[in-house]
Amino acid sequence: MAEPVSVAAEYLAGSRARAARTVLGQVVLPGEELLLPEQEDAEGPGGAGERPLSLNAGARSRVRVVCGPGLRRCGDRLLVTKCGRLRHKEPGSGGGVYWVDSQQKRYVPVKGDHVIGIVTAKSGDIFKVDVGGSEPASLSYLSFEGATKRNRPNVQVGDLIYGQFVVANKDMEPEMVCIDSCGRANGMGVIGQDGLLFKVTLGLIRKLLAPDCEIIQEVGKLYPLEIVFGMNGRIWVKAKTIQQTLILANILEACEHMTSDQRKQIFSRLAES
């Protein structure tokens, strides 16, 4: 008879919400609920009698916590919806951002992301660009630097475009542009001839685009190269010869699974040859 009781206790233990602070850096699974710091204080023992009475006793000072990818607000708690490591960033003011670092291959368009797209169709004034999401994004011919109705940009079907999303939500078709808010290209637009486009996971792109990424610095020392990273998991590489381009593509694809020592070995071997 003791077994059902202990088994029941284990059920409850699994479903109890944990404080977000204690789980930082650990792997969280979908379905877990996390408590925010202000709720912990409210549920903690004692202390209420010693706090001085405030004039607006009803309102607590609210700290604004931003719920990032992989988390949803569920009542006043955070519900984890993707599997990954829980991360937190503390900005100047407010409660900070919580998000889940997950490994994924599929891209979902997000406003403001810079992506590499492939032009699939030209219909009237709009290009349809495949960005790897569930729908092709639309790109107007006027969204290029210096484009006017008379001076159209030279974009053909099959060209690679580097642009950013201005509209990207679950309800509307994503729209992208190749100019920034000042009207300048800023590196965006049609990507030149030659080079190689290949696909990697989204986590690797974020790792490579992090500030002070060692991989990019080491790769830069090997050969002169041009490289474009799209947040949709696409990388475009161009080096002087085809062989160098292929070597770079292989290195970047393999980087995900290598430890830094293995990587350094490979780079040193390449530098010698």
Binding site for another protein (CB under 8 A): 4, 7, 10-11, 14-15, 27, 29-31, 70, 72, 79, 81-85, 102-106, 108, 133-135, 170-171, 203, 250-251, 253-254, 256-258, 262, 266, 269-270
For another protein, which is the closer residue by CB, 72 or 240? 72
For another protein, which is the closer residue by CB, 81 or 186? 81
For another protein, which is the closer residue by CB, 107 or 144? 107
Please state the closest distance from residue 54 (CB atom) to another protein, in A: 37
Please state the closest distance from residue 78 (CB atom) to another protein, in A: 13
Which residue type sits at 22?
A: T
User: How far is the C-alpha of 220 from the C-alpha of 72, rounded, in Å?
Assistant: 39
Please state the closest distance from residue 101 (CB atom) to another protein, in A: 9
Task: Spell out the SS3 assignment of the chain.
Answer: CHHHHHHHHHHHHHHCCEEHHHHCCCEECCCCEEECHHHHHHHCCCCHHHCCCCCCCCCCCCCCEEECCCEEEECCEEEECCCEEEEEECCCCCCEEEEEECCCCCCCCCCCCEEEEEEEEEECCEEEEECCCCCCEEEECCCCCCCCCCCCCCCCCCCEEEEEEEECCCCCCCEEECCCCCCCCCCCEECCCCCEEEECCHHHHHHHHCCCCHHHHHHHHHCCEEEEECCCCEEEEEECCHHHHHHHHHHHHHHHHCCHHHHHHHHHHHHHC
For another protein, which is the closer residue by CB, 138 or 143? 138
Please state the closest distance from residue 247 (CB atom) to another protein, in A: 8
Please state the closest distance from residue 149 (CB atom) to another protein, in A: 32
- Residue 94: count of CB within 10 angstroms of its CB: 12
For another protein, which is the closer residue by CB, 125 or 135? 135
For another protein, which is the closer residue by CB, 104 or 186? 104
Please state the closest distance from residue 26 (CB atom) to another protein, in A: 8
Please state the closest distance from residue 273 (CB atom) to another protein, in A: 9
User: How far is the C-alpha of 141 from the C-alpha of 83, rounded, in Å?
Assistant: 40
For another protein, which is the closer residue by CB, 85 or 145? 85
